[in-house]
A and B are shown apart, each in its own frame.
Chain A
Amino acid sequence: MRQIIFAVFCMVALSGCAAVRGSQATSAALKSPSPISIPDAMKAYSSPDPASRENMSRFDYREYVITIRMDAIDQEYDSFTDQLNAGQRGAGLGFDLLLLGLSGATALANPSSVEELAVATTVATGARASVDKHVFFDRAVPALVAIMDAERAEIKTAIARKRGLPVEQYSLGSAIDDLNTLRRAGKIESAVGRLTQAAQAQKAQQEALLADIKGVCDNITARTGALNLRFRKLVRDDVPAKEASRARLAATELGLSFADDQTVGFADVRDAFDDQLCDDNKKEQFLDSLEATIATTEGT
């Protein structure tokens, strides 16, 4: 079911559904202070005539375009996040899709970093008919904005580093690609995507961790503890000097084999005792049999 929810989310998200606009305005709609469109900027940048660039060098012109475009993207992003934080649906947030996406993401794992988000999603999905969307906005949106902020900060740092490069190494075209990446990082859908990736990674990590840890029998009772104690006393505690020989006898009864020169102890047989004998009656029968074998072997 989780996979289906997640797959549906992915399909809808990737389809570019027009009803979902969980992001700042598109590049074309940016309220840039620049009167220069991207095509015009590229044309001027490529021109051999500096006059087409208001007599700026290509380096200076690239910096000029980057500065005004980045400023426009930042302004739109700030406006978008302000709207989100204020809980305004006018922000264009596709609430239903976002909820669906978050359900997929949080169902995959429950990492502490997204715990608040998981709670908010659970609250929202659990009371679908009467959900107070403000609960969702109050608790989930800050987490998504934080993810978008972090991604934007990474991209802006990379752009800042490249701005010192000459135009031969960092052209205006490359800079515009980076700016488009910066704009896309302000989309809430991509924040959900990152969250999903993080949840998947965390789940994989948890599964790897759990794969190395043994499970236990289903029917553990208060009597199981008493039987475990009886086994430990019989092999280890009652006659400490005979732990090795008794552990070997237990190992034989459990079908374990050890090299003749290997020292065997209680710790070497307790796992098999626990794993193989899930039923209390079988444990008891085993212990009765082991006691008889020990008595015979030790001549008591």
Chain B
Amino acid sequence: MATNKRKYKGSLTLGKLEIALEAHEQLFGEVTALEAIGEYTVATYDDEDYPAEASLALLPMIGDSAPPTPDGATHLFDGEALALGQKMKISAFRTM
């Protein structure tokens, strides 16, 4: 098991960030944490597991609460991300 970190520009949209994270999950393993540091979103990956392709969903949190889990999805973790330069609390879900 090895963890790996990558930083993503905070100017990305939430959708673009999600696509980038999904792409890197196929190389570095499952994303396990998201932090907003400076002008970047920093993702931590764990290669113990490689999830199915394009199976990540990021949703903005409602205040400090995770949004309702989409049907058939599993809540992974809550974290922070920068989307279009704005820091936001997000919830990550696995959709399949």
* A→B interface (CB under 8 Å): 109-110, 203, 206-207, 209-210, 213-216, 218, 220-222, 224-226, 228-229, 231-232, 267, 270, 273-274
Contacts and interface: CB of A to CB of B under 8 A. Distances in A.
Which residue of B5, B27, B87 has the most chain A CB atoms within 10 A of its CB atom?
A: B27
A203 B40 CA distance: 13
A210 B5 CA distance: 10
Given A216-B6, A228-B26, A221 B19 contact: yes
B54 interface: yes
A267 B47 contact: yes
Interface of B: 2, 5-9, 16, 19-20, 22-28, 37-38, 40, 42, 47, 50, 53-54, 87
A251 to B, nearest CB: 15
Contact of A109 (B16, B23, B38, B54): B38
A210 B7 contact: yes
B38 A203 contact: yes
A213 B19 contact: no
Given A213-B7, A220-B23, A229-B26, 16 more contacts: A110-B87, A210-B37, A210-B42, A213-B5, A215-B6, A215-B7, A220-B16, A220-B20, A222-B19, A224-B20, A224-B23, A225-B22, A225-B23, A225-B53, A231-B27, A267-B2
Contacts, number: 69
B7 to A, nearest CB: 5
A271 to B, nearest CB: 8
Contacts of B25: 225
B40 A210 contact: yes
Given A110-B87, A206-B37, A225-B19, A213 B6 contact: yes
Contacts of B87: 110
A221 B16 CA distance: 8
Task: Say whether chain A's binding surface is mostly helix, strand, loop, or mixed.
Answer: helix
Contacts of B37: 206, 209-210
B20 to A, nearest CB: 4
A267 B25 CA distance: 13
Contacts of B28: 270
A207 B22 CA distance: 26
B26 A213 contact: no
